[in-house]
C-alpha cells in the first residue's frame, strides 16, 4: 500500500478473489462499515516498498523496484 490508499497485489501471486481478501485482511478498518474498497483494474507497476522519490536510490529499494509486474489495483478509503 502507498500513503494514498492504493494497494497492489501481483496477478501471478493471487487470483482476484485472493487479492481482494488479502487487502481486506490488511486494512485497519472494516469494509463497508468504516470505509470502502474499490477495484481499479489491472495495471503494470513496481511492487517496491521504497518511499516515493527513493526508487532506485534508497536503502529500502531492492530488486522489486526495477521489476514491472501486472497487478490487481485496489483503492481503499477510511471514513472513520
pLDDT 10s digits, 26-77: 998 999 999 999 999 999 987 776 666 666 665 666 666 667 889 999 999 9
pLDDT of residue 30: 93
The pLDDT of residue 9 is above 80? yes
Grid coordinates in use for 51? Answer: 518511499
- Per the domain annotation, does 55 fall within a domain? no
User: 69 — phi, psi (to 5°)?
Assistant: -130, 155
- Per the domain annotation, does 68 fall within a domain? yes
How many domains in the chain?
Answer: 1
- Per the domain annotation, does 35 fall within a domain? yes
pLDDT of residue 71: 93
- Per the domain annotation, does 30 fall within a domain? yes
3-class secondary-structure state, position 77: strand
- Per the domain annotation, does 32 fall within a domain? yes
- Per the domain annotation, does 57 fall within a domain? no
- Per the domain annotation, does 41 fall within a domain? yes
Strands (E), 1-80: 6-10, 35-46, 68-78
pLDDT of residue 62: 65
- Per the domain annotation, does 1 fall within a domain? no
The residue range of the domain holding 13 is 6-49+63-78
pLDDT of residue 51: 62
Amino acid at each position: 500500500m502507498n500513503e494514498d490508499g492504493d494497494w497492489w497485489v501481483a496477478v501471478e501471486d493471487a487470483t482476484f478473489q485472493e487479492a481482494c481478501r488479502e487487502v481486506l485482511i490488511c486494512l485497519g478498518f472494516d469494509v463497508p462499515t468504516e470505509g470502502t474498497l474499490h477495484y481499479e483494474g489491472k495495471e503494470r507497476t513496481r511492487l517496491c516498498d521504497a518511499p516515493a522519490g527513493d526508487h532506485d536510490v534508497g536503502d529500502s529499494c531492492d530488486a522489486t523496484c526495477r521489476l514491472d509486474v501486472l497487478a490487481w489495483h485496489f483503492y481503499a478509503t477510511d471514513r472513520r
